Amino acid sequence: MDLGASKLGASGGPDAIRRAELVPALERLSLSVEDRGDVDIPDRPAKPGSAKLRFKAPILRACQDLCDEVYAVHKEGRLPVVLGGDHALAMGSVAGTAKYYAQKKQNIGLIWVDAHGDINTPATSPSGNIHGMPVAHLLGLGDKELNSIGYKGAKVKARNVVLVGIRDLDQSEKKNLRESGVTVFTMKEVDRYGMAWVAQKAIEQASDHTAGIHVSFDVDAADPSVAGGTGTPMRGGLTYRESHLLMEMVADSETLCALDMVEVNPLEDVHNQTAALASELIQSALGKRIF
């Protein structure tokens, strides 16, 4: 899906990650892997509809379908890995995880790895692109239909939401973040304290009184030197090893309950470099080790 972004191409992300040998690599880790294919995405309308919520109708439908798919995977006792695709899809994937655990009277944590805050609302977004709004809607803010995917209201508690790798925020997002109560580790904290410290703090916060952590990783969190194949690259991001260490520490914590790997855009990629990184990060999150 690339309906939530201003730049086309992220819809090719899932196949690009598959071509980066994802399934064979996971099977070499002795994991049982089932590729369920792609969620059907409605055709891109000729007009975006509301300027404040561009392409809302098809995005809503796609996210509702993805929510159902993720929920079904949880019901089977398996761990869903969602490939994207623009980050708007996380409104569906996280909702599916939250719905499953909510029915068991349990909460989930969310670690959101991204260069951007993604916490704009229709009222504050300068672009109307929905891939800049999923965190807000998962917190129960914004549009009533988008924040009711799976069930009405917030899917995560603000105290269990942690943003990592942030380095590009609109003024309105800064205000929204301060008012939201979520935990934010910008690149300043990564630079100052190191990824090991940031990852440990993020895992502790997201896992506090929760049944598990849904990790949603936007490849633009990584520096363009290692992940240039994305729609909104931003200098000064996570290094190759910082990205892997975060995923390795999530795996070590044994708290992971679902994973998104999103915003891979093969039209912007060189030699499938970014898709390869995405595949490798998924492997690290699911248990691959150097030694």
271 noted as active-site residue: no
Q: Which of 87, 137, 214, 244 is catalytic?
A: 87
Give the model's pLDDT for residue 259. Answer: 99
128-173 tens-digit pLDDT = 888 989 999 999 999 999 999 999 999 999 999 999 999 999 899 9
218 noted as active-site residue: yes
CATH 3.40.800.10 given to domain 10-285: yes
170 noted as active-site residue: no
Read off the pLDDT band of 289 (50, 70, 90): very high
Q: Which of 69, 86, 223, 263 is catalytic?
A: 263
114 noted as active-site residue: yes
214 noted as active-site residue: no
Percent of the chain exceeding pLDDT 90 equals: 87
Q: Which of 2, 69, 86, 118 is catalytic?
A: 118
d(CA 289, CA 291): 5
d(CA 230, CA 198): 24
Q: Which of 131, 137, 214, 244 is catalytic?
A: 131
Q: What's the average model confidence in pLDDT over 112-118? A: 97
26-39 tens-digit pLDDT = 999 999 999 999 99
d(CA 99, CA 38): 21
Give the model's pLDDT for residue 50. Answer: 82
137 noted as active-site residue: no
Whether the predicted pLDDT of 59 surpasses 90: yes
Give the model's pLDDT for residue 54. Answer: 84
Give the model's pLDDT for residue 36. Answer: 96
180-211 tens-digit pLDDT = 999 999 999 999 999 999 999 999 999 999 99
Which range (6-10, 15-19, 151-155, 238-242) has the least confidence?
A: 6-10
118 noted as active-site residue: yes
209 noted as active-site residue: no
Q: Which of 86, 218, 269, 280 is catalytic?
A: 218
